[in-house]
Amino acid sequence: MQSQILELPSGTLELLIQGEGDELLVYHHGTPGAGRLPDDLVAEASAQGFRIAQVVRPGYGQSTRQPGRTVADVVPLVAATADALGHDRFASVGWSGGGPHVLATAALLPDRCVGAICLAGVAPFNADGLDFLAGMGQDNIDEFGAAIAGESELEQFLVGMRESMKEVTGPEIVDVIESLLPAVDQRFLVAGFGEVLATQFRFSLVSGIWGWFEDSRAFVKDWGFDVSTIAVPTQVWQGSEDLMVPFGHGTWLSEHVGSATVRLELGEGHLSIAAKAFAEGLPTLKTALAS
């Protein structure tokens, strides 16, 4: 993994580059999930001819915090990333908290983003017909409850969470976020993904809580765009066992995202679904770039 720094009018933007290929895959990380992607996912992307550029959102890593940012505010950062890496057109993937940001990319950069994968992504907070918190594990219910209550409540909550996560190791992950892990994801962590996730948490929180803070606030206010306007081919992947972003979010997005291809996977969790999504979803993105 290589870190690349862009100096933009809005401040510093850090990119994390992985994989080898002639095509660009812009990756939107989870919340808080910035950092190195698993080797198997990078290998799958490389096999499809993609180099991955992870946009480290403001407040994470070396990216300058943007207080009060919206989900849509990621779009100029994506455009700057593609420009800096020399790509007029690209594909994009967003996992978990990256889901809203990949949807923003698809909605607001349709001339450049040829296709997108929303992987276990969060739906809009005030969406008609969606009970946003239904089916979430207790840790996420507490987090979003704090985000709704106000900035001081959210800051206090995340400071406490950071203390338990800033030095977490792979074997400790299940205990730290147990309420968010169905059995299928616990098995996935024990099988090797635990250290990857722990590394991402440590990277995301090394400089404080502010990337996580701004993400959480952005999710519970207006996103700055309407998902129904998305015309770019967009895959919506969601697992039925997910406790971080429940199945209802995926079903709502599948019914409201314009041009959606729907993959609602029975038996998959928030983490276990990723390998299938990369293996089966990336070839479609490669085809879109070739057309």
Render pLDDT for 212-258 as a digit per residue (tens, 0 to 9).
999 999 999 999 999 999 999 999 999 999 999 999 999 999 999 98
Residues 6+ apart with CB under 8 A from 67: 214
Quote the pLDDT of residue 68: 97
For residue 89, is pLDDT > 90?
yes
Quote the pLDDT of residue 291: 87
Q: Span 134-141, mean pLDDT?
A: 96
Quote the pLDDT of residue 259: 87
Predicted structure pTM score: 0.98
Quote the pLDDT of residue 192: 83
Which position has the token pair 């919206």? 70
Paired sense of beta strands 11-18 and 2-8, if any: antiparallel
| 93 beta partners | 27, 117
Distance of CA 195 to the CA centre of its chain: 18
Answer yes or no: are the C-beta atoms of 144 and 154 closer than 8 Å. Answer: no
Provide the residue ranges of all domains of the chain, joining segments of one domain with +. 2-290
Quote the pLDDT of residue 191: 79
Answer yes or no: are the C-beta atoms of 285 and 26 closer than 8 Å. Answer: no
Confidence at 99, pLDDT banded by 50, 70, 90: very high
For residue 25, is pLDDT > 90?
yes
Any alpha helices (H) in the chain, and if so which ranges? 39-47, 75-85, 99-108, 138-149, 151-165, 173-176, 183-188, 194-205, 210-219, 247-256, 274-290
Buried b / exposed e along 150-173 (16+ C-beta atoms within 10 A): eeeebeebbeebbeebeebebeeb
Confidence at 131, pLDDT banded by 50, 70, 90: very high
| CATH entry, 2-290, from 3.30.470.20, 3.40.50.1820, 3.40.50.970, 3.40.720.10 | 3.40.50.1820
For residue 53, is pLDDT > 90?
yes
